[in-house]
Every structure is written in C-alpha cells, then in structure tokens.
Structure 1
Amino acid sequence: MKYNFTESACRKDTNAEKYTLRESLFGTNDVMPVWVADMDIDTPPFVIEAVKKRLEHSIVGYEEFPTTAFKAQIEWMKNEHGIEFELEDMIYSHSVVASMGLVINAFSEEGDKVIVQTPVYPPFFHSVIENNRELLKNPLKQNIDGKYVFDIEDLKSKIDDKTKLLLLCSPHNPVGRVWKREELEEILEICLEHNIVVFSDEIHSDLVYAPNKHIPFASLSQEARGITVTAIGVGKTFNMAGFAMSSVAITNKELKEKFLKSYKRVHFAQGSALSHVAFEAAYSQGKEWLEDLKEHLLNNYTMLLELCEKYSDQIKVTPIEATYLAWLDCRGMGLNNRALRSFFIKEAKLGLNAGLSFGREGDGFMRLNFAVSTTKMLEVIKRLDKALSLKYRK
C-alpha cells in the first residue's frame, strides 16, 4: 500500500493548539501555523481503526498498560535502531517533557548543575530553571557549511563536582543533527569520567533521513546503558501527540529505582485505554506508513530548500539529517529579531517559532515545521516566495 499525503484533514475548528493559539502568539488569526511540532498530516488510519475498535466496548475505565504494547515498542527499537530493551526496563510516561522533569528531580538536588546544549527545544532549559537547578550551557558550534557539532572543549572546561546531569537531544531539535557514533562517544567518555547521568531525548529517532542512522545513546556500550535514561515514543513519528503517550527505558536497576521514587510522587497511573491500543497499533503496523511519510517530508524539505536557494543571500536552510523542523538562518535579511518575526507574520502570513525561544544562539533564526500535506506546503512556499520577492527583488 502506498500512503498519500497530498491532502490532510482541516484542523481549524478542532481546538488544535497550533490554530487555537494563533491570536495570542502572533496577534492575528491570519497566519498559516507552521510552528509547534505536530503534523498537519492525518494520523495513520490503522491507529484510528484500532481506537474505533476499542470503542466497540462500552466501558472505558482504568486499564493497566498492556505488555503487548511495550513488546511492540521493544521489537520496533530492536529492528529500527539495533537496541534491545527488556520488558522490565520500560516505564509509561505521558510525555518526554514530563519524563525530563522527573529525571532532573531524581538525579540532582536544588543548586546542582544540569548541562543543556543550545540552541535547543525550550523545555530543556525551562525544566532545569523551574526545578531550581543551575543551567550549564554548552552551546553547539556551527561550521562554515552551517552544520552544528558539539563543543567538547567548552564542555570539559565547565564541568565541576556540582554537575550531575546532561540533557541530550538526539536527534537534535531544532538543528536537525543525527549525532554520529564518534560524537556520542566523546560525550559518553566525559559523562563516565564525571559520573554524570544522561537523559537522552530520542523522540525524533524514527524521523531520520538516509544515509544518516540514529544511534541510541544507550547502545554505545554496556557502560552507556548504565548511565542512560532514554525517552522515546510515538508522538512525533506517527502524529499522535494528542494521545499523551510515551515511554522511558532504563536498564540500570539503581537508576531505575531512583527514577521511580520521583515517578511515584507524581502518580502517573497507566495512561488511557485509547492511548494503549493506539500506541500498540503504531509500533506493530507503522513501518510502511513511516517510510512513505519520510519520502513525503523530504519532498517538502526539497521545495523549501529550492526556494531559499533563490534568496540565498538572505535566507538559508540549515542542513537537515532528521526531524521535520527546518532551522532557517535569516541573518542575511538584515533584520533584528522583532522585525524578522514581523516579516513572517505580516508579510509572509506564516506563524513560525522565533529562534530566540531556543536560546540566545537562535538569534537571527526561525524554525519552520514542514510536516504538512503537499497542498499546504505549496501554500507555504507561495506565501514565503511572494514576501521575499517583494522585499528583496524590487
């Protein structure tokens, strides 16, 4: 079966976050929202069918997370990413961000330092600050070709006895990197030397484009497994964020016990009955759909790349290896951040994420979500092309 992503369902009157918040975020409803990281692409039909079937039973009450669902995820991780987890390693969580907060509380004390590598998804630094930990920024370096890399020497120079945790974004949001094994091994060596726990956010791990390959941090070695808390889930891969369903994998029993102490204080329970069947359907039936999706996303990315090449003096797309989030380098447009945001809202009529929301290193950048139907992507290109042409091709 070949899946078609030419069109997608209308979300304007469905309480979808990216549409409902347009007025408060952008000051107008007259923008096409391409910001928050969910897709304007239909959730897979086999997921919807699994939920419909579950609703044939007239009671939707408390349910335990089914072992079959975790087994489907374990099998997926083994086949897709070459890492093996056991059933006892898996813990339900309703979101990666929630898991991050639990990890911060489990493996550090107030006043301890937590490493984040900016520019990065905003909850990375918000979670640290809101839990009264000290933010230790280890900014990524950008090469002359626009590609981002770790700054290992900077990291080594900043670590001290108060540094307890590193929050790793892998693949990276927003810069789209898929970290290579040798890069991750450098991080591992430092963390092992300083007894630092690694929280590895791998929520985008399935959205990797060939020839790149996602390397789970815990797969690097037995020592890596011993210091890693891995966060994974279906939300990004299968456009299922509304099911509020993800998981945490911890193989080290001591780490798991510490995590569970923090976890039990929150009382997560086991999620919803509908999420359970959706989760299992995605992992057990989703391979073909995902391959077709990635082909579609690359086509959208290519459209955006070709457009930006027309205005290469003004705007560039950071080379992407994973995710559906384009990190646009707009520094050539000669606008300050407020004017840049205004250009996209008022002239292009597009609602993007401002680069500064990912840290100071996002100065002059914008993030654009290109996980939309072909029809919507053509409209994104049309609007941006018109705005850039009027401003720079007079």
Structure 2
Amino acid sequence: MSYDFTSSADRSGSNAEKYSLREELFGTEDVLPAWVADMDIDTPDFVLESVKKRLVHPVIGYEEFPKSAFKAQIRWMKKHHGVEYDLEEMFYSHSVVASMQVVIEAFSNKGDEVIVQTPIYPPFFHAPAHMERKVVKNPLMQLEDGTYTFDLEDLKAKITDKTKLLLLSSPHNPVGRVWTKEELEALLEICRENNIIIFADEVHCDLVYEPNKHIPLASLEGAKERVITAIGVGKTFNMAGFAVSSIVVPKNLRDKFKKAYDNVHFAQGSVLSHVAFESAYNNGEEWLKELKIHLYKNYMMLSDLADRYKEYIELTPIEGTYLAWLDCRKMDLNNKVLREWFVKEAKLGLNAGLSFGKEGSGFMRLNFAVSSAKMAQIITQLQNALQRMKTR
C-alpha cells in the first residue's frame, strides 16, 4: 500500500496546540507554526479505523490496558530494535514527562542531583527543579562538523555522592543525534561505576534515518539493572493526543518505582487509546517506512536552503527525529531579536534554542514533520526572509 504525504488536514480551525496558542506565544495569528513536536501529517488511517470500530460498542467505561497491546509493542521493539522486553516490565503512562517525574520521585530525594545533557528538551531540567532536586548540567560537546557527542570528562568531574539519576534523550531532542553503541557503553560504564540510575527517553526511536541505527540503552550488556526506558506511539504515528505511552522497568527497580507510580494513580488510560496503540504497532510498519522517506525529503529541502544561505544559517546534521536544529549564530542577532525575525520576517513560529538551555543560544528548532505542501510553504517563507536580509 502506498501512503500520500503531499497534503494533510487543516488544523487551524481545531484546538491543536500549535495553532491555538499562536497569538499567545508569537503575538500574531499570522504565523505558520513549526514548533511543538507533533506532526502536521494525518494520523494513520488504520489507527483511526480501530477507534471507529471500538466506538460501535456503546459503552466507554473503565478498562484494563490490554496485554495484547503491550505484546504488540514488545514484538515491534524486538523486530525493529533488537531489544527484548518482558510483559511484567511494561507499565502504562500517559506521557514521557509523567514517566520521568515518577522516576525522579522513586529514585532520588529532595536535594539529590539529577544530570541532564544540554541543550535538551526543557522538561528535562524543569521537572527535577520543580521537584526540588539539584539539576547538574553536563553539556554536550559540539564537534567541528556541527554534530554533538557526550562530554564524558565533564560528566565524571561533576558526579558526587548526591548524584542519583541521569536523564538521557535517545535519539536526542533537539540536536538529532542517534547515539552509537560505543557512546552509550561509555556513558553506561560511568553510571555503573557511580551507581546512577538512567532514565532513557527513547520516544523518537523509530524516527531514525539510514545508515544510523537506534540502540536501546537497555539492550546493552549490564544495562538492564539500572535503565528505565520510556517508549511509545506518540511521535512515531502522530498520536500524542491519545495520551498513551509505556515505561519499561527492570525487575530489580520495580518495587521502588511502583510505590511512586501507584501514588500518582495512573490508572489504565483511555479505552480508545488502548485500541489505537495496539493497531499502530500491529499495522504501522509500511506507513512508517514511507513516512521516513517523506520526512528525510523535507529535511533535505531545508538542507539545500541552508546551503544557499550558509552565511546566515547552518543546519545541524540530523540522524534521527523530525526536529531540525538551526544554527543561526552567523545572523549576529540576540536571542529575542532572532525569535522576532522568524516571526515577523519569515512568519514562522519555531522553538527558541535558548529554551533548551544556554547552549541553545543562537539556535532555533524547526519541526519539519509536515506535508509536502506545508514544507514548500515553510521553505518559501524562510527563503524570502533570508533573501531580504541578504539584499539589505
């Protein structure tokens, strides 16, 4: 079956967050939003059909998260990522951020240290701080080719006896790295030596471009006893609105985790989310294959544009996710003026790089998970703005 990503449904009249908040965030409705990490691409038809089929039954009440749904996810992860999870390791969660907060509560106390690797998805440093943990920043190193890697010497220097957790983004949001086995093994060894638990946000694991390969951290030798993994369908199949994901917790950490998990009362989620989740994993292989081809074409359009205007913008090489990390430091604008330039000149609503930590100063994050038609519009608006800058 062939899927069409040339156009998508108009979300501007819906309650879609990226559209409904335009005035509040950007000061105008006249901006094409390319910020929050969901897709302007229709959720797969097989997911929607499963929900319609469930709605034939007239009772929408409490239901348990079905084992068959977790089994579908386990099969998917084994086939596509070579990792084997057990059914008893799987827990329902409505979001990765909620999962992360439970892990912070379970495996650290107020005043303990939590390591984050900036620039990073903002809840990684907001959540520990709000929970009265000390956030220890271990910034990524940017290499000459624009890619990033772990700064392991800085990490080792910052660990103390109060360091309890490391929050890992894999693949990394926003810099687009897909960590190699060697990088992850080196990080894991440091955490093992210092008895640090790792929370691995792997929600972008399916959105990886060849020849790169996602390595689940828990699949490495000696990793399982200290790695808790967050995975789900939200990014892969554009299903964030179903509010359903998974937490994978090894046996030796389960009692501590479950105590904090039960205190929150996650319950079992929505019955409609259950069937959507299972359908995605059972039917989504071909859709995802075609989606990734489409997404990479969008990325290459952006890359070609950056090459034409490299005196202003450099595009960080991407290996995974659908989030482009734009290095705009050559534009020589402060962060406030840079954000305003994208809004007023390009009429684009992006995430300011500074929101990912001070290492994001001078950067912007652009979500290119859109239809071909909308990507062409993004490119045109950005190109026109850059051309005006060039001719002034």
Question: What TM-score comes out, normalization by structure 1 length?
Answer: 0.99
The AA in structure 2 aligned to 1:213 is K
C-alpha displacement of 1:120: 0.3
Give the stretch that moved more between structures: 253-262 or 139-148: 253-262
**Hey, what does 1:365 align to over in structure 2?**
363
**Hey, what does 1:188 align to over in structure 2?**
188
Aligned-partner Cα distance in 2 for 1:385–1:224: 46
Aligned pairs, how many? 392
Aligned-partner Cα distance in 1 for 2:376–2:145: 27
Match of 1:347 among 339, 345, 348: 345
Identity of aligned pairs, percent?
Answer: 66
**Hey, what does 2:227 align to over in structure 1?**
228
5 Å-filtered alignment, 1:1-394, equals 1-221=1-221, 223-251=222-250, 253-394=251-392
Please give the per-residue CA displacement for 1:235-254, whole angstroms capped at 9, x wherever unaligned. 00000000000000112x23
The AA in structure 2 aligned to 1:9 is A
Match of 2:311, SS state, is: coil
C-alpha displacement of 1:257: 1.0
C-alpha displacement of 1:196: 0.2
Please give the per-residue CA displacement for 1:235-288, whole angstroms capped at 9, x wherever unaligned. 00000000000000112x231111110000010100000000000000000000
Match of 2:128, SS state, is: helix
C-alpha displacement of 1:393: 3.2
Aligned-partner Cα distance in 1 for 2:193–2:306: 43
Aligned-partner Cα distance in 1 for 2:118–2:332: 23
Match of 1:58, SS state, is: coil
Please give the per-residue CA displacement for 1:298-335, whole angstroms capped at 9, x wherever unaligned. 00000000011111011011000000000000001111
Match of 1:135, SS state, is: strand
Aligned-partner Cα distance in 2 for 1:28–1:256: 47
Aligned-partner Cα distance in 2 for 1:190–1:256: 23
C-alpha displacement of 1:376: 0.2
The AA in structure 2 aligned to 1:176 is G
Match of 2:235, SS state, is: coil
Aligned-partner Cα distance in 2 for 1:338–1:199: 33
Structure 2: which 5+ runs fail to align? none
Aligned-partner Cα distance in 1 for 2:377–2:119: 28
Please give the per-residue CA displacement for 1:49-85, whole angstroms capped at 9, x wherever unaligned. 0000000000000000000000000000000000001
Match of 1:368, SS state, is: strand
The AA in structure 1 aligned to 2:150 is F
Aligned-partner Cα distance in 2 for 1:100–1:29: 33
Structure 1: which 5+ runs fail to align? none
Moved over 4 A (4+): none
Aligned-partner Cα distance in 2 for 1:45–1:318: 33
Aligned-partner Cα distance in 2 for 1:3–1:393: 41
Aligned-partner Cα distance in 1 for 2:254–2:347: 47
Aligned-partner Cα distance in 1 for 2:8–2:72: 27
The AA in structure 2 aligned to 1:147 is T
What is the Cα-based RMSD across aligned positions, in Å?
A: 0.5
The AA in structure 2 aligned to 1:112 is D
Aligned-partner Cα distance in 2 for 1:301–1:254: 42
Aligned-partner Cα distance in 2 for 1:232–1:336: 36
Match of 2:223, SS state, is: helix
